[in-house]
Amino acid sequence: MPTEPTPPAPTHIASGRRRESPDVRRTQILDAAERVFVERGLDAAMADVAEVAGVAKGTVYLYFASKADLLADLRARYLERFAATVDRALAGLREPTTRAAVLQFAACLFDWSQENYALHHVLFHAAGVSEEDAFERGRVLMSELVARGVESGELQTVDPDLTAQFLLDGLHGLLMATMHPPKPDRRRFDRAVDELVPRVLGVASS
């Protein structure tokens, strides 16, 4: 009798793990790395990340050549997620003025920093990355808000870039004074922001 044809090879890995697309696998590794570095610190090894991600150590190195590369991608993702959070909040504003946008930015900054306190600490402070780098995306966002206000005629400032820098540095200072655990003081932060931001922008407070 003729031999039965050999069935096609299964599309899953022999160990039982399903083959994931590169984007999905990369996200799994980044998610695992966040958890590992927050829980164990930067002394954790790439093997620890692989274990939590459920992949072989060599798989991690297919996506990230070193721990430094992995941390750099984690920082980039962290900042992009913050920017996306701000964009969503600004899109929902009923009053699309520069004042309202900067106040919303400040609210997002406080909430994001509180929710991601441990992750921010390990990605920037523990890793020795400067605050300049940590807030680069925030500077870009604030500059865009001030520039829009100038273009619309709402704001009048001789140097929009320095105004944006002053606003971001001021918000960061208020954040550092009110956010740190164990008792973040959101009400104090909001009161200071509501008072000071309109003064810097030269617009009336509500």
How far is C-alpha 153 from the geometric centre of its chain's CA atoms? 31
Superfamily covering domain 67-201: Tetracycline Repressor, domain 2 (1.10.357.10)
Please state which of the ranges 6-10, 88-92, 135-139 shows the lowest mean pLDDT. Answer: 6-10
pLDDT of residue 134: 78
| Stretch 161-173: mean pLDDT | 95
Q: How far apart are CA 112 and CA 189, in angstroms?
A: 14
pLDDT of residue 204: 63
Q: At what angle do helices 67-91 and 98-115 cross, to 10 degrees?
A: 140
Provide the percentage of residues in the chain whose pLDDT is more than 70: 89
Q: Determine the residue type at 185.
A: D
pLDDT of residue 196: 96
pLDDT of residue 96: 86
Judged against a pLDDT cut of 90, whether residue 50 lies above it is answered with yes
C-alpha radius of gyration, the chain, whole number:
23
153 token code pair: 């005629």
What is 14-65's CATH number, 3.40.50.720, 1.10.1740.10, 3.40.50.2300, 1.10.10.60? Answer: 1.10.10.60
Q: How far apart are CA 6 and CA 39, in angstroms?
A: 48
Judged against a pLDDT cut of 50, whether residue 6 lies above it is answered with no
pLDDT of residue 17: 52
Candidates 35, 34, 31; CA nearest to 20 is 31
Please state which of the ranges 9-23, 57-71, 151-165 shows the lowest mean pLDDT. Answer: 9-23
DSSP structure class, residue 42:
T
* Structural domain boundaries in the chain: 14-65, 67-201
Question: pLDDT tens, 16-45?
Answer: 455 778 899 999 999 999 999 999 999 999
Half-sphere exposure of 175 (CA within 13 A, CB side): 18
Does this model's pTM top 0.85?
no
Judged against a pLDDT cut of 80, whether residue 182 lies above it is answered with no
Residue 78: how many other CB atoms lie within 10 Å: 20
DSSP structure class, residue 176:
H
| Stretch 107-111: mean pLDDT | 95
